[in-house]
Structure 1
């Protein structure tokens, strides 16, 4: 059975109208504020960012970047996973600094003496794990200037066939 073009056009029009109505209803507060100019007024009233007080966000790194930095011995690798996970397998040469442990003493998260200008790379269990980003933020707040997050983490490194180790730190 063939539909005629008029019936199809009416179905499309109904779907568009229904979608627009739901979108407007869902965002009515935001739209009302914008119509009154309140959103712009709040943006103008917000204090300007002060670069002197700004805290740097840790930068993400990919597999090749991490490999190059480690091969050149230009960075220290920190595993944000638990001690058990670290013992089961970790990137060769990494130090274990579980997020919970770093959180206990955020002003001095590292137990070893590391210069504030050293390059630090944190990692955990890959893209779905956010412990490495949280650990990196703690390190930045503690005064470390060059902090990076290896987003692919241990699974990507292992799957690429790069050196891994087992056992304690």
Structure 2
């Protein structure tokens, strides 16, 4: 009896193509379940976590009662952050600095002064700087929060019970 017959069958019973397909399927199953490698782990996971402080600026937040929002920040002391549409955990609100709404007013001598904005609708807009504190992995390229890098200019979305708005990062400090 020949090893291969004229139709390409092994010992006249099994097609070589069928055998090759079965072997490929078997190797895929072994590759997925027996030898998974590092496919489920992040290289960032091995980096030590350190506390960081992030200063974010809020410009022109439209809110009917700005003082109530600032009081809510002071009472809850926590906010959820979202970076690049990825939930990135909860940070502590360490400090809140409301900023005055001013406008540039030319003076008779040619100089300019920043004076409080007299427009009535300005009472519904709030500018502030928030200092947030939380943990991040520190890599060679900077702080990583929730697998997203946090650098000056990074847009961070703050989310709480009664609010959801975007901020811009103006400072990142790694604490010791």
Larger Cα Rg: Structure 1 or Structure 2? 2
Structure number with the bigger relative contact order (C-alpha 8 A, sep ≥ 6) is 2
TM-score normalised by structure 1 residue count? 0.24
Structure ranking higher in helix proportion: 1
